[in-house]
Amino acid sequence: DGGITQSPKYLFRKEGQNVTLSCEQNLNHDAMYWYRQDPGQGLRLIYYSQIVNDFQKGDIAEGYSVSREKKESFPLTVTSAQKNPTAFYLCASKGTPTRATNEKLFFGSGTQLSVL
């Protein structure tokens, strides 16, 4: 079955450490997104990529980095520069709409990142 997979489900980070969250999709989608969710708040866009080898900053990109070397993969690195990394991270993907179809947004199951 096609879908979008995030790993790990839970991740702990030590002070000053970089950690990478994985997001893989086998839906042949062009666009991928990373969102952050904090308790009691909505989603905020960190980075997004419309096509391979290209990505743009979202609303809260500081302290994060991404890469899009393959269509299927859009890993997010939370760097030591991100001073408040504890949050729930959600990855999403979407195909390119055509005249006849609208590609739905697919979400991964999320990664909970906590600071030790």
d(CA 50, CA 33) in angstroms, rounded, equals: 9
Q: CB under 8 A: which stretch of 15-23, 63-71, 72-80, 81-89 binds other proteins?
A: 81-89
Shortest reach from residue 24's CB to other proteins, in Å: 19
Whether omega for the bond prior to residue 8 falls within 30 degrees of 0, making it cis, is yes
Q: Phi-psi bin for 30: left (phi > 0), alpha (psi -120 to 50), beta? A: alpha
Stretch binding other proteins (CB under 8 A), from 20-28, 60-68, 71-79, 101-109: 101-109
107 binds other proteins (CB under 8 A): yes
87 binds other proteins (CB under 8 A): yes
CA angle 40–41–44, rounded 5-degree value = 155
Of 1, 16, 39, 83, which lies in the binding site for other proteins, with binding defined by CB under 8 A?
A: 39
- How many DSSP H helices and E strands does the chain contain? 0, 11
Please select the residue that binds other proteins; options are 13, 22, 27, 58, rule is CB under 8 A: 58
Task: Give the DSSP letter string of 31-76.
Answer: EEEEEEE-TT--EEEEEEEEETTEEEE-TT-TTEEE--SBTTB--E
Q: Does 115 bind other proteins (CB under 8 A)?
A: no
Q: Interface residues with other proteins (CB under 8 A)?
A: 10, 31, 33, 35, 37-43, 45, 48, 50, 58, 86-88, 90, 92, 97, 102, 104-105, 107, 110, 112, 114
